[in-house]
Amino acid sequence: MIEFQALRREYGDLVAVRDLQVSIPEGEVYGLIGPNGAGKTTIIRMACGLLTPTAGHITISGVDVHQHPELAQSHIGYLSDFFSVYDDLKVWEYLDYFGRAYKMPDSQLRLRIDEVIQEVGLEVKRDAFIRGLSRGMKQRLGIARAIIHKPKVLLLDEPASGLDPKARADLRNLLLALRAEGATLLISSHILPDLEGFCKSIGVMEKGVMVRSGTVADISSQESQHFCVVRLSWVGEAPVEQVLSSIDKVSDIAIRGSEGLFRFAGSDDDLAALLHQLVTHGVRILSFGEVKQTIEDLYLKLSRNEVM
């Protein structure tokens, strides 16, 4: 659905995106994560046809974005981080304008405008001037604009930037609904909790380089092969730290009261053996389990380990 082939973009001596090679299948929600200046926005702007790559190609639904930009753009919905809307238009006029700009037939456009307005929850503001909308409402209107022409691909650049928690939750629900409808989403963000439980795949960007790309589960299990973080709790006095310290696969032990965290670099069998050892040393275990890694953990691991 979205293919980046040897994509490269330079600004003078700075290589903003270096030889990116990623393929995002249809219906996938792909999170592009990385710090500011990593090259996320450049990638999304090139994917929209807003920036010309220095080298490489981007195809969206099989259409080369830079050879046939207008055809490719009919498949794309785009939303940037901070943006303005035409304050002197009414909500429906704004959507009508973009519907026409995407060359939607008049017969479908009116119905679609009402449908989209309902989808983003702006029914009561349909005939209101945009200048009277709140920031969150404008963001929702931006999403409505991006999906007015029923694009197959949505490219969202930091869509939650500058939104309050309520508006962020609304946006999340809206994107979940779009995901359920089968849209392919490419979302860039440096606010990682925004992407949690939402993206199926992620790509970690650092200084223009794609450090790691794949499904969250795959990356997580790959990382777990190296080590996992285990949390445990117990009751009563027990030599937990002593037992853990005696095992060479354990590191970074942190004990606080009757709770502890440690890193474990071994197989599942080794972990079961460790639990058995704790029990045989008289530790009355209350809970014991691997800490599920969030996207944020993964990102921190990857960036700490692999990018200098």
Partner 1 sequence: MQALWRNPELIRHARADLRPARMATAAAVSVLLCALLILMFYHPGIDKTSAPADRDLATILFISLASLQALVFCLWCLSSCGQAISSERALKTFDFLRTTRLTSWELLVGMVFGAPLMAYFTLACTLPFTLVLGLYAGFPLLALAATYLMLLLLAVVLSLAALAISMMTDRPRAGELLLLLALFGFPAWASMIGASGNSPFPGLTAILVIVGLQPLYHVAPNPYMPITQLTHVPFFSFQVPSLFVSVVLYLSVGAWLLLILLRNLKKDREDIRLLSRWQVVGFTVYLNLLLFALLDLRTIHSKSSNPADPSASDIGFAYLGLNFLILYAVGLASLTTPARLRSGWVRASSSAAFYWSEDGLPWPWMAASAIAAFLLFVLEALVARPFIPFSEWSVGGLAAGLFVLLVFAVRDVLFLQWCALRGFRSPAVKGMLFLLLYYITALTVTGFCFHSGIAWFTPLGAFGDPELGAPTSVFIGVVLQLAVSVYLSIAIRQRLAPSPSTPAASNALAS
- Which residue ranges make up the site for partner 1 (CB under 8 A)? 9-13, 15, 18-19, 21, 45, 48-52, 54-55, 69-70, 73-74, 76, 78, 80, 82-86, 88-89, 93, 97-98, 100-103, 145, 209-211, 306-307
How many other C-beta atoms lie within 10 A of the C-beta of residue 277?
A: 14
Closest CA to 150 of 123, 118, 182, 126: 182
| Nearer Cβ to partner 1 (48/232) | 48
Token pair recorded at residue 271: 């972990």
3-state secondary structure of 212: strand
Q: What is the DSSP letter of 39?
A: S
Nearest approach in angstroms of CB 259 to partner 1 is 38
| Nearer Cβ to partner 1 (54/277) | 54
| Nearer Cβ to partner 1 (51/243) | 51
| Nearer Cβ to partner 1 (9/274) | 9
| Nearer Cβ to partner 1 (138/179) | 138
Nearest approach in angstroms of CB 16 to partner 1 is 10
- Under 8 Å between Cβ of 233 and 286: yes
| Nearer Cβ to partner 1 (105/236) | 105
Nearest approach in angstroms of CB 138 to partner 1 is 12
Helices 135-147 and 91-101: angle between axes, nearest 10 degrees: 30
- Cα 228 to Cα 200, 252, 301, distances in angstroms: 21, 11, 11
| Nearer Cβ to partner 1 (156/283) | 156
**Sheet containing 63-64: order of strands:** 14-24, 2-11, 55-60, 63-64
Single-letter residue type at 159: P
Nearest approach in angstroms of CB 103 to partner 1 is 5
Upper half-sphere CA count for residue 160 (Cβ side, 13 Å):
21
Nearest approach in angstroms of CB 225 to partner 1 is 17
- Cα 87 to Cα 90, 104, 132, 140, distances in angstroms: 8, 23, 8, 15
Phi, psi dihedrals of residue 185, rounded to the nearest 5°: -120, 135
**Sheet containing 284-290: order of strands:** 250-256, 259-264, 228-235, 284-290
Nearest approach in angstroms of CB 301 to partner 1 is 15
Nearest approach in angstroms of CB 146 to partner 1 is 8
| Nearer Cβ to partner 1 (16/174) | 16
Nearest approach in angstroms of CB 232 to partner 1 is 36
Phi, psi dihedrals of residue 189, rounded to the nearest 5°: -160, 150
Token pair recorded at residue 31: 């999170």
